[in-house]
Amino acid sequence: MSDREGAREEESHRPLRFKIMTKSKGFWAVIAVISLAAAGFSGYSIYTRLAVQFACDAAETGPAPESPAGNLIGTKVEPAGSAEQAAAPPELKEPKEEPRKPKAVKTVFEYKSASAKSVALAGSFTKWKEARMTRKNGVWRTEVYILPGNYLYHFVADGKKALDPGKTKAPSGESIAVVAAEDNK
């Protein structure tokens, strides 16, 4: 028996499924391309979700940091043993004013819905944990102390996400709360 006849005989005993798989390389190439496309789409969707999450965190802005030593630009530094410093009496030195720390501001959130059975507030200031709201005359209300800055938030009414209709929206689809510092001088 020649090698060709042995190969044909061996090929004829193979299951039909194996014959189809070996003869349809184009089919498997298409499957590979579809698999790569699905993996690429999945990776892109995960990337966009993470980018939105990190973009939301960047939306929180606080007051501008102040230098603890004050404004040092344009000041002249004298050596410790200078004659001017030794001659100046200690009572003429100006006391340094401590930088003020920002204080949390009481912020009121309201959601109007007479039909809702439960409403909660979730936002970047609560680390997206839901804070319960209380209802009075069809208006759900809660007070939260927040440091000055911009924050993203939404309401959860009966388990469904709801935005604040009176506030501007962020690109991520959340409402934006702008908390200004109180001036108590």
> Token pair 């344009």 is at which residue?
74
pLDDT in tens, 160-184: 999 988 888 888 889 998 888 876 5
The stretch 20-43 carries a mean pLDDT of 84
Residue 58 CB burial class (10 angstroms; 0-12, 13-18, ≥19): exposed
Tell me what pLDDT residue 10 has.
Answer: 57
Q: Where are the domains of the chain?
A: 3-58, 105-179
Q: List, in order, residues 6 or more apart from 110 with CB less than 8 Å away.
A: 139, 140, 141
Instruction: Reply yes or no on domain 105-179 having CATH 2.60.40.10.
Output: yes
What is the token pair recorded at 174? 């959340």
